[in-house]
Structure 1
Amino acid sequence: MSRQFVRRPAVLAAIALVAVGACAGTTAGVSRALAGGSGPSVPSVRLGYFANITHATALVGVGKGIYAEHLGPGVRLETSTFKAGGEVTSALFSDAIDAAYVGPIPALNGFTKSGGQALRIVSGSTSGGAFLVVRPGITVDGLSGTKIATPQLGNTQDVALRAWLKERGYRADEFGAGDVSILPQDNAMTLNAFRSGQIDGAWVPEPWATRLVEEGGAEVLLDERTLWPDGRFATTNLVVSVKFLNAHPDLVKKLLEGHVAATDFLIANPKEAMAAANNQIEQITGKRIKDSVLSAAWGHLEFTTDPLASTLEAMARDLLGTGLVGEAETAGIYDLRLLNEVLLSLGRPTASDR
């Protein structure tokens, strides 16, 4: 059944801005053809991701040529970088990309908004790496009157913060009003805003949490891993457009072979993987992450092909509880068949969609 994704007016306005930003994301970011042949007849895979270490699988897969190796010489890999999950799902909607690394809440939003027609989660990628950091002296019981930043209205960390505050009796709406003022903004702006005293803290992914601590003098108030069983929750997933999945399952499987190989490389070679990821970040943004920040932030992440599906169910409940949406549909969002074919071929346990 087709489902309508219901948002309040302010959030609808945000979606409109994100849709425009999707076009900017593919042009203002880095768009490159990296592998395979050329010409209109050559099949291609158009992959989107962030220049952020929570997307290290993509950074390393591209930088070390792992995707290119598994896609083969007859397939062209084209990459685009984005700054926010909403931009990624809008790019999938508009057929600007075929696959992407994205957080679970944007994936859930895109799936629900499209009535389940736009995308499927085909693998997990990253767990962990999200923190609430604040000015020294601020406590859990002393958050009233504070201003806390998140990366984007309705993104994974934004929803996590709103749900956590609600559980503790704090009011916070999408307009920045309430006991705690939540101020969604670009992560780079957050660091500057914290330094200048415009905000009191942030719920952000790595490496921004560590940067706020090391470069801004923030303290960790909460490591999100402490809120989840075994400290594991979905931070980044690999999603594919339904159109591309149906038309080119062979290419999706090759992409997943590269994804699994890149994940293996991250786990087996952390120092080399950190260097490769940082090289890609510098190539995309013009700036490197300091070694001390990168090393500390990397230690807060787990790279895995497990989608940690049960955590998405909990996130969907949190999303509904924030009042930002009227519906959050998870049934049918996973298609792990091709991933499990790859895992079985390697003699490994299969992934679960529950």
Structure 2
Amino acid sequence: MRLLAGVLGGMLAACSPPREDPSRLSVATMARLTHAPALTGLDSGRFADALAGVHLEPHAFEVGNAVVEAMFAREVDIAYLGPNPAINGFVRSGGNDVVILAGAAEGGSAFVVRGIASTEELRGKRIATPQIASTQDIALRSYLRAHDLAKDVTILPLATPILLTAFSRGEIDGAWVSEPLASQLLALDGARLLLDEASLWPEGRYPTTVVAVRRDYLKAAPEVVDRFVRAHAHEVRFIERHRAAGLDASVTAMRAIAGRQLDPAIAKAAWARIHFSTELPPGALPRLARDARGAGFLPQSALGGLVEPGPLERAP
């Protein structure tokens, strides 16, 4: 009986997920200006200082949906990502995994085109987004549905380098993207701004980047999460109050973390479209969820518990 109990105990242990380790924190971000609080916090060492005694592991990703998969695989604990991938992660996990802690960036998404003067002229065109079911992809699909163009426009999810090349070669007619890619496209010959997404939202406010955490990590290491959110809030306040210094620090961090060098004029133009806040614009997340459902990317589901406000409420 003891032997059997030992065997069963070993089997149960093997089947159980590994325990959370509060002495480590894996943080995901992307090399985009809309992720500036993460970039500056990591590159300056301020996040590491705020988390003294915790081993901080930064990870750079290209798209938000890949971040969610990494969170599901327990490879990432806290992440900066678009609100739609975060909502998708929450719903897919039945509310048991990805939850949002705070806002990070607002604005900074735009619809850039060439050879198109009006929405009606989108018929028959090829428009790119960063990834299928990304925040910008869903925004484009929602916009097209609202103008009865969903069946008349080809949508192509393209990675940033491919998207830039495709637009410059005339292989696509436009793209709905976030900064700094929007300003990089606008700098190309013949490009024009068809739409700033801010024009579609009350007071021009909509979330572009949020901070999310794995629920299991939050339960296991609430004090670590509180410390991180305090550090995040500090970065947001600094960047928003010292815009020029925040831009310089963000560009430097992008170069250090991802090896990406931004033209100063493009960086300045992109920065003007982005604002930083830990708050989430009222009603924004439910609307984004409705848009995702309308695009066929999200089942009907309740969003109760999507946001865990405690750590931000405790941040000074």
* TM-score, normalised relative to structure 2: 0.90
- The Cα of 1:216 is off from its aligned counterpart by 4.7
Work out the CA distance in 2 between the residues paired with 1:268 and 1:108.
29
User: Contact 2:32–2:180 (CA<8 Å) still a contact in 1?
Assistant: yes
One of 229, 234, 257 as aligned partner of 2:207: 234
Residues 137-188 of structure 1, C-alpha deviations (whole Å, 9 max, x = no match): 43111110100000100110000000110000112xxxxxx30000011122
Specify which of 138, 146, 150 is matched with residue 125 of structure 2: 146
The residue correspondences of 1:1-354 to structure 2 (distance < 5 A) are: 43-72=23-52, 74-171=53-150, 178-342=151-315, 346=316
User: When the two structures are aligned, how many residues end up with a matched partner?
Assistant: 296
| Distance (Å, rounded) in 2 between the aligned partners of 1:85 and 1:225 | 21
TM-score (norm 1): 0.81
Q: Matched residues in 1 for 2:69 and 2:282: separation?
A: 23
Instruction: Say if 1:137 and 1:153 are closer, same or farther in 2 by CA, change over 3 A.
Output: closer
Q: Take 1:328 and 1:205, find their aligned partners in 2: how far apart are those partners?
A: 27
Residues 109-131 of structure 1: per-residue CA shift (max 9 Å, x gap):
10111111111101100000000
CA distance in 2, matches of 1:324, 1:313: 14
Amino acid at match of 1:244: Y
The SS at the match of 1:101 is strand
CA distance in 1, matches of 2:190, 2:260: 21
Alpha-carbon offset, residue 92 of structure 1: 0.5
Classify the secondary structure of the residue corresponding to 2:128.
strand
What amino acid is aligned across from residue 129 of structure 2 in structure 1?
Answer: T
2-side partners of 1:268 and 1:325: how far apart? 37
- Distance between the aligned counterparts of 1:158 and 1:328, measured in 2? 20
Give the CA deviation at 1:316: 0.8
Gaps of 5+ in 2: 1-20
Contact 1:69 1:258 in 2 (8 A): no
Contact kept, 8 Å, 1:42 with 1:76, in 2: the verdict is no
CA 1:216–1:53: 2 relative to 1, 3 Å: farther
**In terms of Rg, which structure is larger?**
2
- Change over 3 Å in CA distance of 1:268–1:158 after alignment to 2: same
Kept in 2: contact 1:319–1:328 (CA 8 A) = no
Q: Secondary structure at the match of 1:152?
A: coil
In structure 1, distance between residues paired with 2:56 and 2:297: 36
CA distance in 2, matches of 1:75, 1:216: 48
